[in-house]
Amino acid sequence: MRLIECTLETLPELQQLSVKTFIDTYQHLNDPNDFNKYLEKAFSIDKLRSELSNPESFFYFLEDEDRNIGYIKINIGAAQTEAKALEYLEIERIYILKEAKGQGFGRYLMEKSMLIAKEFNKKKIWLGVFEKNPNAIDFYKHMGMQEAGTHTFTIGSDHQIDIVMEKKLE
C-alpha cells in the first residue's frame, strides 16, 4: 500500500471516491434531501478543484494492489476548517471504501498523516468526527487522540455535532 498525491489530473477519480465513501459512511444517518444537496455542493468538481488548488491543502489517495481504496485530505494554516495555531495540522477527511475497512488501512492513513505533520513541523494533529460514528471515535482514541471539544457540521438544514479530537505528536 502507498499514498499517491492527488492532482488536478486525478480530480474525476477523487470526486468519485469522495462521493462513494461519504455515501457509504453517512447516507443512512441523514435526510435524503439534505444529504443529496450536501453531496452536490461539497464534492462538486469545482469545489474539489478549488480545494486541490489551495497551497495549504493536500489530498492523497490510498492505493492498494493498483487500486485507490481510500483517501485523506490534510489542511495546514488558514486552510483548516477552524482557526488553529500554526502548530496544528488538520485531517479534514479520512475515508476508506466500505469493503476495505478493518484491514489496517485506517491505521496506515493515520500514521502517514502524523509523518506528514512532522514534515511540516507541526506539533499536533486534529480532526472532527461525527458523534454518531462510534467506531470512528473508538478508532481515533485507539490511535492516541483525545476529545478536545465539539463543533457543528452542517448537512443541508441539519446541524450535527462533531467531536473534535487532537493528538500531540512526539
pLDDT at 43: 95
Q: How far apart are the first and last CA of the chain?
A: 25
pTM tops 0.85, yes or no: yes
HSE of 79 in the Cβ direction (CA atoms, 13 Å)? 19
Judge whether 27 lies within some domain. Answer: yes
How many domains does the chain divide into? 1
Q: Which residues are catalytic?
A: 140
Judge whether 83 lies within some domain. Answer: yes
Q: Which residue has the higher pLDDT, 83 or 108?
A: 108
* Environment class of 74 (CB within 10 Å of its CB; exposed 0-12, middle 13-18, buried 19+): buried
pLDDT at 162: 94
pLDDT at 22: 94
CB 71 within 8 A of CB 59: yes
Judge whether 74 lies within some domain. Answer: yes
Judge whether 16 lies within some domain. Answer: yes
Summarize the confidence of residues 20-38 as an average pLDDT: 91
Residue 29, pLDDT above cutoff 90: no
pLDDT digits (tens, 9 = 90+) for 84-136: 888 999 999 999 999 999 899 999 999 999 999 999 999 999 999 999 999 99
